[in-house]
Amino acid sequence: MQSDGIDLILFGAAGDLSRRKLLPALMHLDNNGLLPDDLRILALSREHMTTEQFMAGQQHTLQTYMGEQRWSQALWERFCQRVRYVAVQFTQVSQYAYLKSELQAQRVAVFYFATPPSLFQTICENLSAAQCLSKTSRVVLEKPIGRDFANCKEVNETVGLFFDEQRIYRIDHYLGKETVQNLLALRFANRFINAQWDNTCIDHVQITVAETVGVDGRFAYYDHVGQLRDMLQNHLMQLLCLVAMEPPNTMTAHDIRDEKVKVVRALRVIDEDSVTEHVVRGQYVQGWYRTEELTGYLQLEDADNPDSDTETFVALKAFIDNWRWAGVPFYLRTGKRMGEKVTEIVITYKTLAHNIFGAHENSPNRLVIRLQPNEGIEMQMLSKQQGIEGGMALERQNLDLNFLHASGSERIPDAYERLFLDVIRADQSLFVGREEVEESWLWCDQLISAWQSCRLKVHPYPAGSKGPAQAELLIGRDGRSWHE
C-alpha cells in the first residue's frame, strides 16, 4: 500500500497495552497487507535497550497472538524492519532531540500516547519544544481521558494547545469492535429494524459487559478508579449512545459525534433522590470458577487498602429524556470477576396488545447483539411448534447470525486493527469527540457525588458469580429480569 509516508511514534511501547494489543494489531495489519509499505514504527520507552533486544522481548507474545498458521519468519523479519526502538525519558526535553532527528518534515507523524494521562501534557510540551510537531501531526490518546469532568477538560485543553480537534484521536477500543460497527449497520441499513426502534415498540434495553478477569496486579491503579470510571463512563456509555442516537446525516465523525452527544445530554441525572433505587455497587469476595479458587478483591496480593469500598461491579437504571426514548429504561451492568465473559446489548420489545393465541406462549421478541464471545445477532421470536399434534401452540425460536461463520473468515479482527487503520486513513468516525467525553464525565460525576453523599453501600458478591443479588432486585422490582 502506498502513502505519503507515515511514522507511528508509540509512547509507552514497553507497556502491557502495547505488548498485548498494539503491536499484535500492527502485525496482523502487516500480515494482511494493510499497512502502508513505508510505515515506520518508533517504539519509545524509558529502558535502555537496542531495537533487537526490544523486539526479542516482544517475539513470544506476538507469536502467540498471531497464531501458528499466520506466523512466518518472513513476516517477522518484515515487521522487525519497520520498528526502531528509542529510549526516552518522557519528562526530559533534552532526550527528544534524537526523536526530532528521526522525523522528516514531509512524513506524517502519528503520536500514540499509551501512557498514563498525567504524562500527556509533559509529552506534548516536550514534543513542541523539540520541534517534533507539524501541521500534519496526529495524536492518539488512550483512555482514561481524565478521572472526572474537570480533569478531563484540563487534559483536552492541554492537548488542544498542540493539536486541533481534527487531529486528536481519542480511543475507546469498544468502537473498533466489529459488532459495534455492525450495530450501526443493523440500525441504519435495515428498514424493519429502524422502523421499530423507539418507545412505542421497545420495552427496555439491557447492556451487559461482564468480565471474568479480576484486578490482579492493578490494585494500586484500580482502587482509585472503580468500575464506573473504568468501564461505564466510556465503553458502556458509547454502546448506549450507539443504541439510542438518532440517525446521523452521514457516516462522518462530525455527524456521528453530534448525535451521540445529544444522547448523553438527554440522560436523566441520577441524584441523591434516585441513586438508592437506580444504582447497585458491588465488590467481589473470594469465590470459585469451576474448581479454581478465586481471590477476593481485598485479599489480592497487591491490595493495600483493607477498608476499600471501591466498586468492582455496578448496575444501574438510566432514562433518556427525549422524544424517542421517554419511559424506556436502559439497564446497564458491568463487573470484574464474573462467572462468564459476555458483552451484549439486549433489546426487549413490548408484547402485542392483543394475543389471538390465547393462553399460548406470549413472550416478547428480543434482539440480542453479541459483542463477545460469538460475535453476532440473535433475534428471538415466536413461531408455531412444528407438527400437527400441538394445534396452534407457539414456541420461542432464535434466528441466529454468527458473524464469523457468515463471513467465512477464520478470525474477526481485533478492535485495535480497525482503529489503527482509521488513524492511518485519517478517519475519526470511530473515535470519541471532546464534547462526548466531557458530557459523559459530567453525568458520571453527578452520579458519583450522589452515591458518596448517600453513602451507597458496596455489596459483596462471590468471584465467579453473576454479581450481587441486589442487581437482580434492581431490575426485578420493575417486573423484568436480566438476560442470561
Q: Which is nearer to ligand BG6, 144 or 433 (CB)?
A: 144
Strands (E), 255-327: 279-285, 287-289, 292-294, 313-319
Q: Which is nearer to ligand BG6, 187 or 218 (CB)?
A: 218
Q: Which is nearer to ligand BG6, 20 or 70 (CB)?
A: 20
For the chain, what is the radius of gyration of the CA atoms? 24
Residues 309-338 that bind ligand BG6 (CB under 6 A): none
Q: What is the dihedral of CA 328, 346, 289, 214, to 10 degrees?
A: -70
Nine cell digits for residue 60: 513470544
Closest approach of Cβ 113 to ligand BG6, in Å? 15
- Please list, in sequence order, all residues whose beta carbon lies within 8 angstroms of the beta carbon of residue 125, skipping any fewer than 6 positions away: 93, 162
The Cα–Cα gap between 239 and 236 comes to 5
- Please list, in sequence order, all residues whose beta carbon lies within 8 angstroms of the beta carbon of residue 223, skipping any fewer than 6 positions away: 303, 305, 308, 310
Nine cell digits for residue 387: 407438527
Instruction: State CA 351 to chain mean position distance.
Output: 32
The Cα–Cα gap between 339 and 69 comes to 31
Closest approach of Cβ 343 to ligand BG6, in Å? 6
Q: Which residue's CB atom is positioned nearest to ligand BG6?
A: 230
User: Which residues are tagged catalytic?
Assistant: 235
Residue 393 contacts ligand BG6 per CB under 6 A: no
Q: Which is nearer to ligand BG6, 216 or 309 (CB)?
A: 216
Closest approach of Cβ 455 to ligand BG6, in Å? 25
Q: Would you list the DSSP string of 362-380? A: -PPPEEEEEEESS-EEEEE
| Residue that has been written with the C-alpha cell 494547545 in this structure | 161
From 7, 230, 422, 438, residue interacting with ligand BG6 (rule: CB under 6 A): 230
Q: Which is nearer to ligand BG6, 39 or 145 (CB)?
A: 145
Contact code string over 332-371 relative to ligand BG6, x by CB under 6 A: -----------x----------------------------
Q: Which is nearer to ligand BG6, 108 or 207 (CB)?
A: 207
Closest approach of Cβ 7 to ligand BG6, in Å? 26
Residues 198-217 that bind ligand BG6 (CB under 6 A): 211, 213
Closest approach of Cβ 306 to ligand BG6, in Å? 22
With CB under 6 A as the rule, give the number of residues binding ligand BG6: 5
Instruction: State CA 39 to chain mean position distance.
Output: 26
Residues 103-122 that bind ligand BG6 (CB under 6 A): none
Sheet holding 366-372, edge to edge: 394-402, 376-384, 366-372, 342-349, 202-210, 329-335, 313-319, 279-285, 458-462
Closest approach of Cβ 431 to ligand BG6, in Å? 15
Applying CB under 6 A, which residues contact ligand BG6?
A: 143, 211, 213, 230, 343
